Structure 1
């Protein structure tokens, strides 16, 4: 992976409950990290598999492994104001260098 291709900024959000100044607990999405990534749409077999699940707005994000090691499918990604639910996180070849994240856009 050429890390120079990580030229898009995304924000990782995590669902959490936080207490406000009045002591009221509120659940919501909270920013975890803003990191660099590369992104592209699906092609070939991956595209048709996603289409069979009606996940037409499926995108693959690639980030450095160390940027967010604890990323899970319970988190989500924000890119240019658009939210993407994470479907799958892959530690590419188990080398601990890059994470390949498959995500679908929230419509």
Structure 2
């Protein structure tokens, strides 16, 4: 694994539990951690929806070190330079615990 390729600093977000002013359990968006990563575009599609609306769907592979990304879960999401990526699945290649490949989708409307 070449650490020099990890040039992007990504932010991983999650839903954080808290008690609101009515003493009810509620959730808010919170930063989980920031890690260095390599972002590789994979596929892209352009779809046409109603009323001349274009919808672009692009998938990316985000590679992080295993130690810094082992607690990232599929219900989290990633931001990088004002782009949001929804995590689809996380792969530990060959179960070597060297790196994680996070497959994510960026949807632009």
Q: Give the structure-2-normalised TM-score.
A: 0.78
Contact 1:92/1:99 (8 A) holds in 2: yes
> Which runs of 5 or more residues in structure 2 are unaligned?
46-54
Work out the CA distance in 1 between the residues paired with 2:31 and 2:81.
14
CA drift of 1:25 comes to 4.0
| More helix by percentage | 1
Is 1:34 the equivalent of 2:28?
no
Q: 1:6 to 1:73 in 2, by over 3 A?
A: same
* Residue 61, structure 1, aligned to residue 62, structure 2: yes
Deviation at 1:24, TM superposition (A): 5.5
Instruction: Please report how far the alpha carbon of residue 72 of structure 1 lies from its aligned counterpart in structure 2 after TM superposition.
Output: 1.7
Q: Which has the larger radius of gyration?
A: 2
Alignment pair present for 1:74 and 2:75: yes
| Contact kept? 1:82, 1:106, Cα under 8 Å | no
Alignment RMSD (CA, Å): 2.3
Q: Aligned equivalents of 1:4 and 1:97: distance in 2?
A: 15
Unaligned runs of 5+ in 1: none
Higher strand share: 2
The number of equivalent residue pairs is 100
